[in-house]
Amino acid sequence: MKHLTTLSLIQAVARVSSIRKAAEDMNITSSALNRRIQRFEEEFGAPIFERLPRGVRLNPAGELLIQHIRAQIADLERVRSQVADLSGLRRGHVSIACSQAIQPYFMPRHIAAYRTEHPGITFAVHVRDRDAAEEDLRSFQSDLALVFEPRHLEEFEVIVSVEQPVYAVMSVDHPLASKETLRLRDCLEFPHVVPPRHIGIRYLLDLAAGRMTKKLAHTIEADSFEFMRHYVQNEKAVGFQFPIGLDIANDTRLAFRPLPRRDIAFGNLALLQAKGRTLSVASARFANQLALALSEEGLG
């Protein structure tokens, strides 16, 4: 496995664009790391890094190589998981990129349930917007992605896709909280808090407002749904979120009202993997669990 160590070292240098910093991270001397890379370049038959006054960066050959390295490491992890599964150890690792809305309730619940059955499985959870999640899949940084309104579905395999209505979120003493049904135009009469344009729910809000005479004129823009949930408790403002990211049954500080589809399109929540990639046993089983849960919890 000596060659895999070298590939891991190259990946570490590419990640931080510095031999010195990578050497510190990998607990070796920078001179030893530099010699190892130079020996690899000699065997490889081409340089892979461009040496700069302050650090290094991958050249075109290096960019091609790093994609191969990531694929090889991911494939080795898949084989290790399969071998462990055959031996009954149930070891493995699952890496998943997910939208911010998935983070507080849905994902912790289902990871905990999975680890109850398979305590040898470890997880890495990366909170990403839709663009960053897709890039994670392309670069093999994540095995799976669960995100709203993905941009490039044709590049990925869709394991499952479900819909979520948009909810208005406000304090329980907000004037709109007494209304059983709300329209988007009602919400826009009050100060409103929205996420930035790269977040899926903002995309839906902009589309909806584009068809209305009353336009989106947000008071606050924030890239944290947690901030928005807290902010609306301090001002008579309205936030917007998907129900999978809300604790509707237990949060007594907030009022939640679904907005009708005729006002704003439902969000598309997609569980994705890279096209043509064979998932490890651990990742494939977790993907199946998530797909089943999304259907059974009435989210489909």
Q: How far is CA 12 from the centre of its chain?
A: 22
Query: What is the per-residue pLDDT for 297?
Result: 65
- How do residues 32-61 score in pLDDT, each as one tens digit? 888 888 888 888 898 999 988 888 899 998
pLDDT (mean) for 264-288: 90
**Are the beta carbons of 266 and 184 closer than 8 angstroms?**
no
Q: 90-163+268-296: same fold as 2-64?
A: no
pLDDT in tens, 122-158: 999 999 988 999 999 998 889 999 999 888 888 899 9
pLDDT digits (tens, 9 = 90+) for 59-73: 998 888 888 888 877
Is the overall model pTM greater than 0.75, yes or no?
no
For the domain made up of 2-64, give the CATH fold. Answer: Arc Repressor Mutant, subunit A (1.10.10)
Task: State yes or no: pLDDT of 87 exceeds 70.
Answer: no
Q: Which residues are within 8 A (CB) of 244 and not within 5 positions of it... i.e. 6 or more apart? A: 101, 102, 105, 106, 164, 269, 299
- Does domain 166-265 correspond to CATH entry 3.40.190.10? yes
The residue type at 153: L
| Per-residue pLDDT at 242 | 94
Q: What pLDDT is attached to residue 89?
A: 46
- The CATH superfamily of 90-163+268-296 is Periplasmic binding protein-like II (3.40.190.10)
The domain locations on the chain are 2-64, 90-163+268-296, 166-265
Q: Tens of pLDDT along 171-206?
A: 999 999 999 899 999 999 999 999 998 888 999 999
Positive or negative, the CA dihedral 147, 245, 187, 265 is: positive
Give the end-to-end CA distance of the chain in Å, rounded to a whole number: 44
- Contact of 134 with 150, CB cutoff 8 Å: yes
Q: CA triplet 262, 264, 266: central angle to 5 degrees?
A: 100
Q: What percent of the chain has pLDDT over 90?
A: 47
- CB under 8 Å to 25, separation ≥6 — which residues? 12, 16
Cross-strand bridge partners of residue 98: 127, 146
Measured distance CA(177)–CA(200) in Å, rounded: 25
The mean pLDDT value of the chain amounts to: 88
User: For residues 222 and 43, what is the distance between their CA atoms, to the nearest angstrom?
Assistant: 50
Give residue 88's identity as a one-letter amino acid code. G
